[in-house]
Structure 1
Amino acid sequence: MKNLLLLIVCWPLWTIAQVEYNFEMEPSKTNCHELPVSFNSTEKAIETLKSTTFRLQESIKISRYRSPRAAQFYSCDGLTGFLMVEETEDILMVYRAVPQDAWSQFSNSTDPIGYYENNIKGKYATVE
């Protein structure tokens, strides 16, 4: 009985004490702060992106025979990021400032090749 009374009295206090913080997190356990503002070449950008620890890093395989073949998304803040697209075995495109929503739609699309052609290629700035 004492336990029940204690539970009834303490429950409202315990729930009030739980505070939910709704603030934007800084990228933790990443080295995004070391990313340069610009790159000397696409090759240097690819090398740097592959060696950086990002907050969000996802990839998809699309096709063996058609372009694009695969894509990777790298983001420091979870909102925008770099999109690396393997168009052919020899051609890798790196797009900057791609919104995470565009990546999500691209990676979840039933036609990622069409989505890439219509919504990404030529629409975002590339790293050169």
Structure 2
Amino acid sequence: MKNIFLVLVLALIFQATAKAQTCDDLPANFRSYNEATRAIQNTSFVLSDELPFGKSSWFLSAAYYSCDNYFGYLVYSTQDRTEHILEGVPLKVWTEFKTAKVTVTYYIQNVKGKYRMVPD
């Protein structure tokens, strides 16, 4: 019985790691928002971080994914339930956004319109 359990656990681990791709596998450009979302969800990033729940009333969620600890993807959804992906956002900008007293003000002043929307 223990051997069957061990085999099942190993099979699940192998399946989970087999689906993960590396940053090198990410395309230079995405054809659609859905393609970008799937690729980001299936990639093992060097850094992934999230805006704490309840930190902002305007952002329902926000997450940051980086391959190199310098630049990355900012993925967020807003009150009106629209979802967006920004590419090439510096880690410093993410950190300042995440720790800003008012995230929406920081976003408007320092992020909005300054980074490429995926897909463009």
Q: Does the alignment reach a TM-score above 0.5?
A: yes
1:63 deviates by: 4.6
TM-score using structure 1 length = 0.70
What is the number of equivalent residue pairs in this alignment?
100
Write out aligned runs for 1:39-118 (5 A).
Answer: 39-61=30-52, 63=54, 66-88=57-79, 90-118=81-109
Query: Is the 1:69–1:86 contact (alpha carbons within 8 Å) kept by the matching residues of 2?
Result: yes
3-state SS of the aligned residue for 2:31? coil
What is the alpha-carbon distance in structure 2 between the residues aligned to residue 88 and residue 35 of structure 1? 29
Query: Is the 2:56–2:103 contact (alpha carbons within 8 Å) kept by the matching residues of 1?
Result: no
Larger radius of gyration: 1
In the alignment, structure 2 segments of 5+ residues that lack a partner are 1-20
What is the alpha-carbon distance in structure 1 between the residues aligned to residue 65 and residue 46 of structure 2? 8
Q: Which amino acid aligns with 1:98?
A: V
What is the alpha-carbon distance in structure 2 between the residues aligned to residue 87 and residue 49 of structure 1? 19
**Matched residue, 2:5:** none
TM-score using structure 2 length = 0.74
Percent sequence identity over aligned pairs: 28
1:118 deviates by: 1.6
3-state SS of the aligned residue for 1:74? strand
In the alignment, structure 1 segments of 5+ residues that lack a partner are 1-29
